[in-house]
Amino acid sequence: MHRVDMSVAIGDLVLANPVLTASGTFGSGKEYADLIDLTRLGAIVTKGVSTSPWSGNPSPRMAETASGMLNSIGLQNPGVERFIADDLAWHRRSFPQVPLVVNVNGHTIDEYISVVRRLDEEEGISAYEVNISCPNVDAGGMAFGTTCEAASEVTRAVRAATARTIIVKLSPNVTDVAAIARSVEAEGADAVSLINTLLGMAIDTRTFRPKLARVVGGLSGPAIKPIALRMVWQVSSAVGIPVIGMGGIASATDAAEFMLAGATAVAVGTANFVDPRTAVHIVDGLEDFCASRGIGRVSDLTGGLITPDAAANRDREEGSR
């Protein structure tokens, strides 16, 4: 079998392979280090980090649903200083060779900026993933990522604050995700990642109570994959910057679908809970997928989708030759 070039580029950042972990499902990697070889990952994306500690939501915070799960963790994290002292220090000590992408959160633009400014003083961070699904306290708690204006504003401010690679993570809880993607591209985002969780809920009919203490929460897992794939396809058709696709990815064929739809790289989230080896299996599986088809570079999968129209066009061209 051919050797496959598995490397991909996200802006200036070159990754050994296109498989990342999705924020919030992987800590900063430490918890998984006993179970898998972290050096096999394209990059580790950390849980959300904010400027001060966030205590998150009351329990229950999790509910299993058909082919997925709901969570309302509420971005609980100990704040940027503790992140630097614990997680970042651990990463630099144990796995400095694995690119680390820090997921950045804020309730105000200033909070996003102060996280990025503080992290910019530290070595060992490859990129920021800016989570714009956070509630904007200056706009009645509506998520930044739900309007082009607010999404642009966060991106512009973060862009001005750092020279590091910025990935803006898009919310799927919008009517036109491609419009949001174009807005953040225009403000200097180096890449976009999507999708974050879809807003959902579940009810316990024995108690008449919601299954999550916060009533609503984010749906993730295989249940959301078709929606995620559709959004990745729409966004990658609308922007020129790389797209990192996620949402229900559990196998190499899932990952290949996202790449064919236009993703440059993919991230594995909820599937880590079912099998911590999933991301590593996907790295191997994608390589086999390419090798068995004579594809020399995994990046050749990106945007390789043949749509009925394109197929018809090609047939027409070939027939006229």
| Catalytic center residues | 134
| 3-state SS assignment for residue 255 | helix
The nearest distance, CB 25 to ligand FMN, in angstroms, is 5
The interface with another protein within residues 269-288 (CB under 8 A) comprises 270, 272-277
**Total number of residues that touch another protein (CB under 8 A):** 36
What is the C-alpha to C-alpha distance for residues 161 and 115, in angstroms, rounded to an integer? 10
Structure tokens, 81? 């200083």
Looking at the DSSP assignment, which residues form a beta bridge with residue 217?
200
Closest CA to 66 of 268, 251, 224: 224
Phi/psi for 106 (5° steps) reads: -165, 155
Decide: is 56 part of the binding site for another protein (CB under 8 A).
yes
Decide: is 121 part of the binding site for another protein (CB under 8 A).
no
**Which span (10-18, 59-67, 229-237, 295-303) binds another protein, by CB under 8 A?**
59-67
Kindly write out the interface string for residues 253-282 of this chain, putting x where it contacts ligand FMN by CB under 6 A and - elsewhere: ---------------xxxx-----------
Structure tokens, 168? 């803006």
Check if the beta carbon of residue 24 is closer than 8 Å to that of residue 264: no
Q: Which residues, including other chains, have CB under 8 Å from residue 232's CB and lie 6 or more apart?
A: 194, 195, 243, 245, 247, 258, 261, 262, 263
The interface with ligand FMN within residues 162-181 (CB under 6 A) comprises 169
Kindly write out the interface string for residues 227-256 of this chain, putting x where it contacts another protein by CB under 8 A and - elsewhere: -----------------------x------
Q: Which is nearer to another protein, 24 or 262 (CB)?
A: 24
Check if the beta carbon of residue 164 is closer than 8 Å to that of residue 128: yes
**Which span (22-30, 97-105, 122-130, 282-290) binds another protein, by CB under 8 A?**
22-30
What is the C-alpha to C-alpha distance for residues 313 and 258, in angstroms, rounded to an integer? 23
Structure tokens, 1? 């079998």
First and final C-alpha spacing in the chain: 33
**Total number of residues that touch ligand FMN (CB under 6 A):** 25
Instruction: Select the binding partner of residue 64 from another protein, ligand FMN, none (C-beta < 5 to 8 A, by kind).
Output: another protein
What is the C-alpha to C-alpha distance for residues 281 and 298, in angstroms, rounded to an integer? 15
Decide: is 247 part of the binding site for ligand FMN (CB under 6 A).
yes
**Nearest residue to ligand FMN, by Cβ distance, number only:** 24
Looking at the DSSP assignment, which residues form a beta bridge with residue 21?
268
| 3-state SS assignment for residue 219 | strand
Decide: is 29 part of the binding site for ligand FMN (CB under 6 A).
no
Instruction: Select the binding partner of residue 196 from another protein, ligand FMN, none (C-beta < 5 to 8 A, by kind).
Output: ligand FMN
Q: Which is nearer to ligand FMN, 16 or 62 (CB)?
A: 62
Decide: is 139 part of the binding site for ligand FMN (CB under 6 A).
no
What is the C-alpha to C-alpha distance for residues 145 and 139, in angstroms, rounded to an integer? 12
Instruction: Please give the residue ranges that form the binding site for another protein (CB under 8 A).
Output: 24-27, 31-32, 34-36, 47, 55-56, 58-64, 67-69, 71, 73, 76, 221-223, 250, 270, 272-277
Instruction: Please give the residue ranges that form the binding site for ligand FMN (CB under 6 A).
Output: 22-25, 47-48, 71, 73, 75, 103, 131, 169, 196-197, 220-221, 224, 246-249, 268-271
